[in-house]
């Protein structure tokens, strides 16, 4: 056979997608035990579809992490990464909507077969845990499962796979390193942090002055609103003082390094400069994904509350209570959310010198005649 022969050989739809194998994978446990429950088919299919989409999400996240293995990220790679992360976000949105399909089953319908599920549980979804690890959920931040390590429900091989994700570096780790390497921290003739400090002080003074000179506020209201505006010693201190930031890192209240945080702030403030547009879109993708995972956790928790109330979950957890806590405690990219607290209006933004603006622009030199 010559090289390339058979490359375009035909295949049937059924065989290519392994339809027979796929459609034979819905085995009703209630039926096997002699008491078939109609709604169990829906329950199985919804969860199988989740696992299929989880597989795709893992496929996308692993590819994005691979882009960041190199010390230099070219613009074309960043563009591809953004496209794939956008796909992940769309998949997560779909998974949230899928809960509505599950809720067409009533609590009484679920009780027809729930007793057959023990001790199976969503805790045992290896792929979902892998997604959490790939995104960068810190192991020390996880709520414990019966006081044991989150991966204790899996085989030794699968536990090692999850551990290896952390050892090789999560997406959060890779993004932190990428931000630290960005050239925006060392711009000739422009001390970004010093310029930011001056603009910030001017903004805060202006806002405080407007409050104190208001004719419609009482003295008590003026004092309260002035405190709400803050000062350079409030949440701004973490960006103006590296030691403060590093202390927050030690307390697990921050995840990005100081250099990475400063770079992220610069990207957000000057996002409209051509070279910064893709980095800004990339950071936005991470925030959107984090939001969608949190949305899914909230909806999942509410569905469980609707289906079983305050009963213990089939896996032995506290059910709704546990799931609701994960929604608030298992967020990953909180440092990027925190950047919003540090933003200042465009009107207060320090102007970039022409030579710096040129470095952040796409420009072409016209050929001389």
Helix axes 242-250, 258-269, angle to 10 degrees: 120
Q: Is the pLDDT of residue 369 over 60?
A: no
pLDDT number for residue 361: 82
pLDDT above 90: percentage of residues in the chain? 61
Give the model's pLDDT for residue 363: 59
Q: Which one, of 128, 160, 156, 158, lies nearest residue 142 by Cα?
A: 128
CA distance 65 to 75: 15
How sure is the predictor about 159, in pLDDT bands with cuts at 50, 70 and 90? Answer: very high
Mean pLDDT value of segment 55-77: 87
Residue-wise burial string across 327-353, b where 16 or more C-beta atoms lie within 10 A, e elsewhere = beebbbbebbebbeebebeeebebebe
pLDDT value of residue 174: 95
Averaged over 75-83, what is the pLDDT?
88
Q: What is the mean pLDDT of residues 164-175?
A: 96
User: Which two structure tokens, joined as six digits, stand for 149?
Assistant: 């390590």
Q: How far apart are the first and last CA of the chain?
A: 58
Report how far apart, in Å, the C-alpha atoms of 255 and of each of 34, 175, 264, 335, 338 are: 52, 11, 13, 7, 11
Confidence of residue 366 (pLDDT cuts 50, 70, 90): very low
| pLDDT, position 317 | 52
Max distance between CA atoms of the chain, in angstroms, equals 90
Omega prior to 119 cis, within 30 of 0: yes
Mean pLDDT over 149-155 rounds to 89
Q: What whole-number distance in Å separates Cα of residue 265 and Cα of residue 255?
A: 15
Instruction: Please state the φ and ψ torsions of residue 153, each to the nearest 5 degrees.
Output: -80, -5
Domains of the chain with CATH codes: 38-65+73-359 (1.20.58.480)
- 28, 51 contact by CB (below 8 A): no
Length of the chain: 369
DSSP string over 275-296: HHHHHHHHHHHHHHHHHHHHHH
What's the sign of the alpha-carbon dihedral 128, 65, 63, 279?
positive
Query: What is the per-residue pLDDT across 243-281, written as a single tens digit (0 to 9) for each?
Result: 999 999 999 999 999 999 999 999 999 999 999 999 999
Whether residue 28 is predicted with pLDDT greater than 80 in this model: the reply is yes
pLDDT confidence tier of residue 32, bands split at 50, 70 and 90: very high
Question: Token digits for 269?
Answer: 């403030």
49, 168, 228, 266 from 53: Cα distances, Å: 6, 24, 43, 35
Which of the four pLDDT bands, split at 50, 70 and 90, describes residue 319? low
Q: Which of 49, 32, 189 is nearest to 116 (CA)?
A: 32
CB 46 within 8 A of CB 125: no
**Using one digit for the tens of pLDDT, what is the confidence trace for 205-249?**
888 888 888 888 898 988 888 877 766 677 888 999 999 999 999
Cα–Cα nearest to 69, from 168, 181, 164, 165: 168
């Amino acid at each position: 056979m010559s090289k390339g022969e058979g490359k375009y050989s035909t295949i049937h739809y059924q065989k290519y997608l392994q339809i027979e194998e796929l459609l034979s994978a819905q085995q009703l446990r209630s039926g096997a035990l002699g008491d078939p429950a109609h709604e169990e088919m829906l329950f199985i299919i919804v969860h199988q579809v989740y696992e299929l989409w989880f597989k795709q999400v893992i496929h996308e996240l692993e590819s994005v992490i691979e882009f960041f293995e190199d010390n230099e990220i070219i613009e074309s790679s960043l563009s591809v990464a953004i496209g794939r992360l956008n796909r992940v976000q769309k998949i997560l949105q779909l998974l949230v909507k899928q809960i509505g399909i599950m809720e067409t089953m009533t609590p009484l319908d679920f009780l027809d077969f729930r007793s057959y599920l023990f001790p199976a549980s969503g805790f045992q979804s290896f792929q979902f845990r892998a997604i959490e690890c790939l995104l960068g959920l810190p192991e020390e931040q996880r709520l414990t499962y019966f006081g044991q390590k989150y991966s204790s429900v899996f085989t030794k091989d699968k536990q090692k796979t999850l551990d290896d994700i952390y050892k090789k570096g999560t997406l959060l780790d890779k993004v932190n390193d990428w931000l630290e390497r960005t050239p925006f921290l060392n711009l000739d003739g422009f001390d970004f942090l010093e310029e930011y400090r001056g603009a910030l002080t001017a903004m805060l003074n202006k806002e405080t002055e407007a409050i104190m000179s208001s004719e419609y506020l009482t003295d008590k209201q003026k004092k309260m609103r002035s405190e709400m505006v803050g000062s350079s010693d409030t949440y701004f201190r973490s960006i103006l003082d590296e030691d403060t930031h590093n202390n927050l890192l030690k307390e697990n209240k921050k995840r990005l390094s100081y250099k990475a945080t400063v770079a992220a702030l610069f990207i957000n403030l000057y996002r409209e400069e051509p070279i910064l547009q893709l980095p800004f879109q990339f950071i936005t993708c991470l925030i959107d994904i984090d939001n969608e995972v949190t949305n899914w956790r909230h909806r999942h928790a509410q569905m469980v509350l609707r289906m079983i109330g305050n009963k213990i979950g089939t896996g032995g957890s506290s059910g709704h209570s546990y799931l609701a806590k994960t929604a608030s405690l298992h967020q990953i990219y909180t440092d990027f959310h925190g950047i919003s607290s540090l933003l200042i209006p465009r009107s207060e933004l320090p102007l970039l010198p022409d030579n710096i603006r040129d470095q952040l622009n796409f420009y072409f030199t016209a050929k001389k005649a």
